[in-house]
């Protein structure tokens, strides 16, 4: 079972990386609807990975408890060790892709917020921004 959990966890992480790469491409092209559509898929993959990680932890604990006199590295076979290393590498890759995506998200958010503030200015109450003023300067001419 341990090998199965390792393999399926790797697949989940790879799918998350692939979806994040698509999100980065789509945010660059302002295809926000495509990003929003993938959000549910990504959330499902995250839940799936978290469940598998929990099952993986339980399997590893069983192995450690069954072999109390040995270290975990001695109990695992070579392919399992390799898959654990691959999971770590894939998680680091996912982290880097998420950081890259987050930079774009913050930039787009700042752009829209500044655009909104220029069209509908806010009243300042000390250091806190209050609600937007009504748009008295905004007129439509047909």
Give me the tens of pLDDT residue by residue for the chain, a chain 142 residues long. 899 999 999 999 999 999 999 999 999 999 999 999 999 999 999 999 999 999 999 999 998 898 888 888 888 999 999 999 999 999 999 999 999 999 999 999 999 888 887 877 776 666 666 665 555 555 556 5
Give the C-alpha separation, 16 to 68, whole Å: 36
Per-residue pLDDT, 87: 96
What per-residue confidence (pLDDT) applies to 35? 95
Q: What tokens appear for 44 in the block?
A: 């499902």
Q: How many CB atoms lie within 10 A of CB 10?
A: 19
Global pTM reads 0.81
d(CA 77, CA 57): 16
Report pLDDT for 128. Answer: 64
Residues paired with residue 132 on neighbouring β-strands, in sequence order: 122
CA distance 10 to 7: 5
Q: Given this model, what pLDDT does residue 100 score?
A: 97
Q: How is residue 107 written in tokens?
A: 């930039």
What are the phi and psi torsion angles at 120 (to 5°)? -125, 85
Closest CA to 86 of 17, 1, 6: 6
Beta strands in the chain (DSSP E): 122-125, 128-132
pLDDT at residue 105, as a whole number: 94
Residue 128 sits at φ, ψ, to 5 deg, of -100, 140
Instruction: Determine the 3-state secondary structure of 122 from DSSP.
Output: strand
Distance CA 142, CA 138 (A): 13
Round to whole Å and give the CA distance between 16 and 90.
10
Lookup: tokens for 54? 């929990």
Which CATH number, 1.10.10, 1.20.58, 2.60.120, 1.10.287, labels domain 2-132? 1.20.58
């Amino acid at each position: 079972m341990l090998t199965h959990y390792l393999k399926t966890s790797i697949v989940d992480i790879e799918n998350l990386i692939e979806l994040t790469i698509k999100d980065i491409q789509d945010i660059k092209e302002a295809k926000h609807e495509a990003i929003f559509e993938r959000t549910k898929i990504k959330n499902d993959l995250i839940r799936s990975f978290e469940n598998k990680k929990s099952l993986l932890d339980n399997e590893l604990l069983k192995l450690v408890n069954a072999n109390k006199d040995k270290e975990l590295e001695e109990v695992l076979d070579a392919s399992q060790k390799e898959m654990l290393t691959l999971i770590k590498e894939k998680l680091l890759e996912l982290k880097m892709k998420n950081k890259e995506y987050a930079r774009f998200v913050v930039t787009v958010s700042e752009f829209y917020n500044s655009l909104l503030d220029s069209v509908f200015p806010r009243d300042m109450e000390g250091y806190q921004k209050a609600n937007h003023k009504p748009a008295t300067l905004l007129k439509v001419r047909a």
